[in-house]
Structure formats: C-alpha cells, structure tokens
C-alpha cells in the first residue's frame, strides 16, 4: 500500500470521524470526490488507481479534474469548489506526515476556488405559503404528516438534514414550546414555536404516538424520511398548490426555499440580522446578509427615508396627462 492510499484510509477511518467529527453527509461527499479524482487520474495517466501516489496529485492534474467536472459533467462552480475543498482537506491532513511530497501538496493547496455569482434568494410570499400548506390531504395520515412537516419547516427554517434528524423527544410542547436540533458544525440550538405551529404539532404528535419508530416525520415502517422523499413530497404538494396559486409555477421551490421563507418572514417583521443568524444556525451574519439583498421592501423603505421632503414617497409613476405634466414643469 502506497503513501496516498494509507493517507486516505487514515483520513476516512480515523481523522474524519474521531478528530473532526464530520457529518455523514460531509464524509460521503469527500469520499465521492476522491473516487472521482482517482478514476479520472487512472484514465488520464493510463495507470491503475491502486498505483496512484502523491506524485500524481499535482496542481495541473487536479485543475484538469476540476475542469472536467465543470465542462464535461456539467457541474456548477459551487460544486467544483466543494470538490476542491474535499481534496484540500485530505491533502492538508497528509502534509505533515509526508514532507517528501510537500512541494506537490502545497501547490494543490494553493489552487484558488472559482469565483461564483450568488443568485438572489428565492422565497415564498404569504399567499404562496398558505396555498402550499393547504395542499396536503387532511383526510389521510400522510397528508396530515406532510402538513405538519411543511408548517414546522416554514416557521422554524430548519435545514432538510435537521428536519430528517428530529425525533419526537426534540419537540417540547409545554411552557416555552420549542424544537431542539443539532445543526451544521455540531451547533445545537432551540427554535421557539408559534401558537399556530404549536396547535398543528400537538394534533400531529397525538397521532404520531400510535406509530412505529422515534423519528418525528417517518415513513410507514417508522424510519425517518430520506432527503429524496422529503423533496418528492414537497413537489407533489407544490403541484397541487399551483392550481390555486399559479405564481408558484414560476418559482423553483425546494425544502431549502422554505428555510429562506422563514428568514424573510423574520426580516419583514423587523428582526435584526444577527438574531436571524442565530435562529438559522449560521456561524456568522455573512450568510444571513444575503436576505437583505432579496427584500425589495427594505430597499424601498431605504429610498423613502432618503427622499427629499417635497417628494411623494413610493415608486415613481408618471402623470396620466402628459400635456398637463409638461405645462407644470
């Protein structure tokens, strides 16, 4: 076994779990990155994957791999950067143990991420949320479960991974009702529940107690719903909601869109960005600042506050009588 294979096994069997305590999703992403990289290098260099060592992990070869992901596999720049992060994470851990390959590894670590254009955040309006929450069939167990799931997500802004990991014990319905979760970076937080969400969850939990498993939102056998299942249920209800709210057809809505919606609702209510960052489990406010750019109402209010005293507030609208307007100039 060569040095690269040893480093990979050490990273994924010991370092990622015991020292970094990375999530299963992150470990799987890093693993898939290295599988793709080794297959690409084996094909490009014409050598078996088992024979590849650190001397094959050059900056030129890694850059070629990243370009192949982007141009041939159609990966976006954000995915390309995520793959680069996975490569650099393993190499950064291996560098102190293999000084003989320091020059090659350092060059790879110096590859900069590709700059990306950050899209404007998409979120749902109050009317669209109401249509979505009305879509699940209240006469079936899955419909009542999905209604509770969507209502909780829209109000709390939990990530899809956090929703999946919730158990019945994580919902506290007594004094100070809230939901507790462990989010990205192993950060624990609690999110309060509104009176409307509390009523929905009380009714749901009373019925959920008669079913198997401990997962809050489960399938027929009591196991937590998968990420694909959650997105599938959302797509199903979106199709139903679109019949009463056609605006939904113009939006690309995922479970993460519901998280954005929760943040925008807080922002519209005047909640400070630093509080929203804590609510969403962000490590700092940089990620939360994007919501400020998405809210046109905030920008309009800023314009209204800076207008001259003799100018009517609001968006400019031309006078209907152009001749009268010209005469008044």
Catalytic (active-site) positions: 159, 184, 256, 259, 282, 291
Instruction: Determine the longest span between alpha carbons in the chain, in angstroms.
Output: 88
Helix (H) or strand (E) holding 189, with range, is: strand 188-192
* Run of H or E including 181: strand 178-182
C-alpha Rg value of the chain to the nearest Å:
25
Nearest to 227 by CA among 182, 279, 280, 165: 165
Cα separation, 59 vs 61, in Å, equals 6
Sheet order of strands, 188-192 included: 171-172, 178-182, 188-192
How big is the CA angle at 93 (ends 90 and 99), to the nearest 5 degrees? 115
CA distance linking residue 227 with residue 328, whole number of Å: 62
* CB atoms closer than 10 angstroms to residue 89: 19
Instruction: Quote the tokens at residue 246.
Output: 């056609």
DSSP for 158-185 reads --HHHHHH-BGGGEE-SSS-EEEEE-GG
CA distance 64 to 252: 32
Phi, psi for 176 (deg, rounded to 5)? 65, 60
Encoded tokens for 191: 């999110």
86 vs 8: CA distance, rounded Å: 12
């Amino acid at each position: 076994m060569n040095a690269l294979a040893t480093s990979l096994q050490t990273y994924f069997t010991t370092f990622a779990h015991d020292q970094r305590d990375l999530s299963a999703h992150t470990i799987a992403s890093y693993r898939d990155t290295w599988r793709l990289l080794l297959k690409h290098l084996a094909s490009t260099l014409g050598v078996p994957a088992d024979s590849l060592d650190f001397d094959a992990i050059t900056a030129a070869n890694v850059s070629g791999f990243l370009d192949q992901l982007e141009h041939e596999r159609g990966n976006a720049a954000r995915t390309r950067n995520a793959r680069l992060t996975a490569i650099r994470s393993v190499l950064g851990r291996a560098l102190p143990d293999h000084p003989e390959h320091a020059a090659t590894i350092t060059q790879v670590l110096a590859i900069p991420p590709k700059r990306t254009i950050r899209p404007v955040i998409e979120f749902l309006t109050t009317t669209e949320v109401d249509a979505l929450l009305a879509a699940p069939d209240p006469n079936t167990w899955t419909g009542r479960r999905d209604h509770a799931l969507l209502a909780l997500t829209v109000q709390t802004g939990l990530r899809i991974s956090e929703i999946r990991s919730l158990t019945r014990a994580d919902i506290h319905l007594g004094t100070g009702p809230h939901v507790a979760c462990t989010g990205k970076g192993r950060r624990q937080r609690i999110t309060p529940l509104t009176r409307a969400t509390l009523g929905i969850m009380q009714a749901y939990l009373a019925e959920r107690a008669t079913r198997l498993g401990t997962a809050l939102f489960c399938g027929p056998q009591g196991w937590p719903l998968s990420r694909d299942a959650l997105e599938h249920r959302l797509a199903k209800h979106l199709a139903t909601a679109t019949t009463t709210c056609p605006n939904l057809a113009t939006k690309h809505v995922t479970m993460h869109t519901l998280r954005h919606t929760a943040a925008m609702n807080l922002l519209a209510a005047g909640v400070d960005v630093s509080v929203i960052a804590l609510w969403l489990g962000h490590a700092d406010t940089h990620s939360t600042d994007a919501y400020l750019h998405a809210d046109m109402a905030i920008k309009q209010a800023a314009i209204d506050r800076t207008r001259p005293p003799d100018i009517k507030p609001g968006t400019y609208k031309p006078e209907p009588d152009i001749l009268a307007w010209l005469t008044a100039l």
